Amino acid sequence: MAQATPRNRRRGKQHPHFDSSVQEVFLQLWRTYDRLKSLEDELFGQHQLSAQQYNALRLLRSAHPETLPTLALGRRLISRSPDMTRMLDRLEKRGLIRRERRTENRRVVEISITAAGRLLLDELSDAVSDMHERQLGHLSKARQRQLIELLKEARQPLEDETCDWLEG
Amino acid sequence: MAQATPRNRRRGKQHPHFDSSVQEVFLQLWRTYDRLKSLEDELFGQHQLSAQQYNALRLLRSAHPETLPTLALGRRLISRSPDMTRMLDRLEKRGLIRRERRTENRRVVEISITAAGRLLLDELSDAVSDMHERQLGHLSKARQRQLIELLKEARQPLEDETCDWLEG
DNA sequence: TGTGAACAGTTGTTGAAAGAACTATTTTCC
DNA sequence: GGAAAATAGTTCTTTCAACAACTGTTCACA
C-alpha cells in the first residue's frame, strides 16, 4: 500500500521552494530561532555559558533560596537535556551552583544557585536586556503577544504533559 | 557607570516567569522549535540523517541536474554550518552526493546529488508528509500563513543579506 | 610579472550533545 | 520482610558542532 510514486513532490503549486506548506512553517521557525539564538550565543559565549546553562541559572535563581532536584530542573528547561549531570558538573566546577544529597532521600541531588551564580546573573542583566531589545525590540507588544499565541497553538499537540517548563 | 543594582529583574509585573516580554517570545519560539524538531529527529534519525543533512539533499535535488558550490549550498542551509566539509564527507561516503573540481576554477568544489540520494528522498517522501501532518496539521492554512509572516517580521532585522536561503 | 589580497575549502583540536547501559536508593506489595 | 519494580542520577562511547589555523587557487594591480 501507499505506493511510492517517485517525484510526488507536491512542488510547483503554491510552494515553489518547499515540499509542503507545513515545511515552510517549520523552516521559517527554524531560521528565526537560529537568527535570534545567534545573539544569545554571542552574548553568553563571552561568559563561557550556553543559552541552556543561562536558563538553568535563571530557573535556579527564581527558585532561590529553595533548591531543585536535578530532574525537576531538567523538566523545566526549554530543550530536554539528557546530559544534566555533566552540564551541572561544569557549573559546579565554576562555583555557580551547589549540589547536595539530603538524608531523607539519598537518591535525589538538590541543586541551588550560589552567591557567585547570582552575582554573575546580575552582572549579565543589562547586557541581556540590550540583547532582548536587539532580538525583538522592533516588534510591538501586540505582535509579540500574537506570535506567542500562535507558537503555543502550533506546538500544543506535541507538548508533553509531564513537562512543566511554563505556567501550565 | 550602569550601576549593577542587584535584583533589578523586571519580574513580578506582567511576566512572572520571565525577565522580559521579549524573553518570553524567545523561549516560546525555542520551545516550539524544539518540539517540532523532535519529530524531524525521530524520522530522519531512523535513516542516519540529521535535519540539516536532509535539507542539504533537498536543496541539491531542487538544483538537480545542476550542481552547487559548497559555500553556496552552505548559504542556503537554514542554520549556518561551519562544518560543511565534514557533513559532505559523510554524505559522500554513503554515496548520496558527488563532489567534483572543475578545471575552470580549481578552488570551488561542485556538489550534486546522486541517483542514490534522489532515491533516498523519494523513499522518505511519504513519511515526511506524515510528519508534516503531525507537526502542524492542526493549524489552518490561514494560521500557518499568519505564523510565517510573524516569523519573517521577527527576524527581519537580523537577516543577513548575503544569505539567500529563501525567495529573496 | 610577481606580490599581496581575496577566495574556497580543509584540517586539527577541543568541547559539548545523544543514547544506552549502569549504580545506588527507595517503594510496592505479596 | 524481602524480591521486584520504580526512581534518580551517573558513566561510557560515539558522534557532532565550534573555532581557529592552514593549504591551495585566483585576482588585482603596480
For residues B108 and B11, what is the distance between their CA atoms, to the nearest angstrom? Answer: 52
* pLDDT on residue B14: 54
pLDDT per residue as tens digits for the range A82-108: 889 999 999 999 999 999 999 989 999
For residues B139 and B147, what is the distance between their CA atoms, to the nearest angstrom? Answer: 10
pLDDT per residue as tens digits for the range B41-89: 999 999 999 999 999 999 999 998 999 999 999 999 988 888 899 999 9
Which letter, b or e, does each residue of A64-86 get, where b requires 16 or more Cβ atoms within 10 Å of its Cβ?
A: eeebbebeebbebbbeebeebee
User: Which of A31, A36, A146 is nearest residue B150 as measured by Cβ atoms?
Assistant: A146
Q: Which of A24-33, A139-148, B155-164 has the lowest average pLDDT?
A: B155-164
Please tell me the pTM assigned to this model: 0.88
Alpha-carbon distance values, A41 to A53, A147, B52, B84, B101 (Å)? 11, 22, 19, 20, 35
A101 touches strand D (CB under 7 A): no
Nucleotide nearest to B79 (CA to C1'): D17
Cβ separation A132–B24 shorter than 8 A: no
User: Which of A4, A78, A122 is nearest residue B34 as measured by Cβ atoms?
Assistant: A78
Is A73:A81 a contact under the CB 8 Å cutoff?
A: no
Cβ contacts of B12 within 8 Å, gap of 6 or more = none
pLDDT per residue as tens digits for the range A34-60: 999 999 999 999 999 999 999 999 999
Which nucleotides of chain C are near protein (any atom < 7 Å from a CB)? 7-12, 16-20, 24-27
Three-class SS state of B6: coil
For residues A4 and B166, what is the distance between their CA atoms, to the nearest angstrom? Answer: 28
Sheet holding B68-69, edge to edge: B68-69, B109-113, B97-101
Does pLDDT of A153 surpass 50?
yes
Residues of B in contact with A142 (CB under 8 A): none
